[in-house]
């Protein structure tokens, strides 16, 4: 049995860092584990321009504790009004690596998102032309659609037609949660990929209801049936370069989660690589973790592989019951419970 595991330092291709005191609270968890992360732009107001992305990136770097290194890769927030010129500026600037498509109303801070995909065609055409990836929150927003079917319906109604229209578009189906999503990505060319979270690999929808309603297991897209979890595990551990790590670690204050209308989002950055090690070990596929966590994402984005390494040990540790989060508290995944792997500090 392997008791330690040394990997090329991993990257997190989907991360929410927030801003201000919350950013300062969560950033060290990611920087301790990941060399780079694709930073989501769903702030209030969202990060819509290269200028705003430059300013946000500066705030992230300013919040980084001395002695830590971390490269925030920025994603712009796509709106009905994103111009082809802004996409060209993004491509040229060197620190914006993608554009994020939130269907308006799909999730946290998505009100500025795309109201109808046709409205974003000029920007999407520019992305295809410039080779800049479009990262998609793939959920239908039609209130008639069952919450558990939103990904599959979005693929049929929006994503498949979009790829027909823009066949060379680099597209990442973010936080894929269903067998239909996996099949869609597998059927696409090398320009189509997906990120997979640790929580969708480790839990099915029963986790939200075990012994009572459990808000800290609520995220969007919502956890799905066991058969879908199994399809995700199969894809993540398959060695296919189309699937790579994106934690979607999404911190919200305890008070915003434990209330009548709780926010969607699961905080996992405190065990951002360790939880994946658990999921891969459970599938007897620890040998496939490095490709998924450290190699395939960088290759998709055309970025160099990290040269440093990270070592994990199979040593159980207890996750704190709560973490600081500016003025509030943050309840991390597995609060008060154990995680089976830990990182060894370099």
Indicate if 248 belongs to the active site: yes
- List 24, 31, 73, 220, residue binding ligand DOR (CB under 6 A): 220
Residue 218: partners with Cβ closer than 8 Å, 6 or more residues away: 208, 257, 262, 264, 265, 266
What sign does the CA torsion over 225, 230, 233, 234 have?
negative
**What are residue 185's phi and psi, to 5 degrees?**
-70, -45
Catalytic residue among 12, 248, 284, 287: 248
Rounded Cα distance between 29 and 201, Å, is: 20
CA atoms within 13 A on the CB side of 283: 23
Convert 317-343 to b/e letters by CB count within 10 Å (16 or more is b): eebeeebebbebebbbbbbeeebbbbb
Residues contributing to the site for Zn ion (CB under 5 A): 248
Residue 138 interacting entry, from ligand DOR, Zn ion, none, C-beta within 5 to 8 Å by type: none
Q: Judged by CB under 6 A, does residue 108 bind ligand DOR?
A: yes
Give the one residue of 137, 170, 228, 334 binding ligand DOR; rule: CB under 6 A: 137
Q: What are phi and psi of 244, to 5 degrees?
A: -145, 175
Binding ligand DOR (rule: CB under 6 A), the pick from 250, 275, 331, 339 is 250
249 binds ligand DOR, rule: CB under 6 A: no
Direct distance between the N- and C-terminal alpha carbons of the chain, in angstroms, rounded to an integer: 23
- Name the burial class of residue 268, with classes exposed (0-12), middle (13-18) and buried (19+) by CB atoms within 10 angstroms of its CB: buried
Q: Are 112 and 79 in contact (CB under 8 A)?
A: yes
Q: Is residue 265 at the binding interface for ligand DOR, with CB under 6 A as the rule?
A: yes
- Asked whether position 16 contacts ligand DOR by CB under 6 A, the answer is yes
CB of 187 to Zn ion, least distance (A): 24
Minimum distance of Zn ion from residue 14's CB (angstroms) = 6
Q: How far is the CB of 42 from ligand DOR (least distance, A)?
A: 5
Q: Which of 31, 60, 140, 219 binds ligand DOR (CB under 6 A)?
A: 219
Q: Which is nearer to ligand DOR, 41 or 291 (CB)?
A: 41
Q: Which does 30 bind (CB under 5 to 8 A by kind): ligand DOR, Zn ion, none?
A: none
Identify which of residues 16 and 270 has a Cβ nearer to ligand DOR in the complex. Answer: 16
180 binds, among Zn ion, ligand DOR, none (CB under 5 to 8 A by kind): none
Whose tokens are 């189309």? That residue is: 242
Residues serving a catalytic function are 248
Enumerate binding residues for ligand DOR (CB under 6 A): 16, 42, 107-108, 137, 219-220, 250, 264-265
């Amino acid at each position: 049995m392997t008791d330690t595991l040394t990997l090329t330092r991993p990257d997190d291709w989907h991360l929410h860092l927030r801003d201000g005191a919350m950013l300062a609270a969560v950033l060290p968890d990611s920087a301790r584990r990941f060399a780079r992360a694709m930073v989501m732009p769903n702030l209030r107001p969202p990060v819509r321009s290269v200028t705003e992305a430059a300013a946000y990136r500066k705030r992230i770097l300013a919040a980084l504790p001395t002695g830590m290194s971390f490269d925030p890769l920025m994603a712009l927030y796509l709106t009905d009004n994103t111009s082809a010129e802004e996409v060209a500026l993004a491509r040229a600037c060197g620190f914006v690596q993608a554009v994020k498509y939130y269907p308006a109303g799909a999730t946290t801070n998505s009100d500025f998102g795309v109201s109808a995909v046709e409205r974003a065609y000029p920007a999407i055409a520019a992305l295809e032309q410039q080779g800049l990836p479009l990262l998609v929150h793939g959920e239908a927003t039609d209130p008639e659609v069952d919450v558990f079917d939103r990904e599959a319906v979005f693929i049929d109604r929006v994503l498949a037609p979009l790829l027909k229209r823009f066949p060379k578009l680099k597209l990442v189906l973010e936080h894929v949660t269903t067998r239909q999503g996996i099949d869609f990505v597998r059927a696409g060319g090398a320009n189509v990929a997906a990120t997979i979270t640790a929580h969708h690999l480790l839990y099915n929808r029963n986790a939200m209801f075990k012994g009572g309603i459990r808000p800290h297991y609520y995220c969007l897209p919502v956890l799905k049936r066991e058969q879908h979890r199994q399809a995700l595990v199969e894809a993540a551990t398959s060695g296919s370069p189309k699937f790579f790590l994106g934690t979607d670690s999404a911190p919200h204050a305890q008070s915003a989660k434990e209330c009548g209308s709780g926010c969607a989002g699961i905080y996992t950055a405190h065990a951002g690589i360790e939880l994946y090690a658990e999921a891969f070990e459970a599938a007897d596929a620890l040998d496939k973790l490095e490709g998924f966590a450290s190699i395939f994402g960088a290759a998709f984005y055309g970025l160099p592989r990290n040269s440093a390494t990270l070592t994990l040990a199979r040593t159980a540790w207890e996750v704190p019951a709560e973490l600081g989060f500016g003025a509030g508290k943050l309840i991390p995944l597995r609060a008060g419970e154990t995680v089976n792997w830990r990182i060894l500090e370099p």
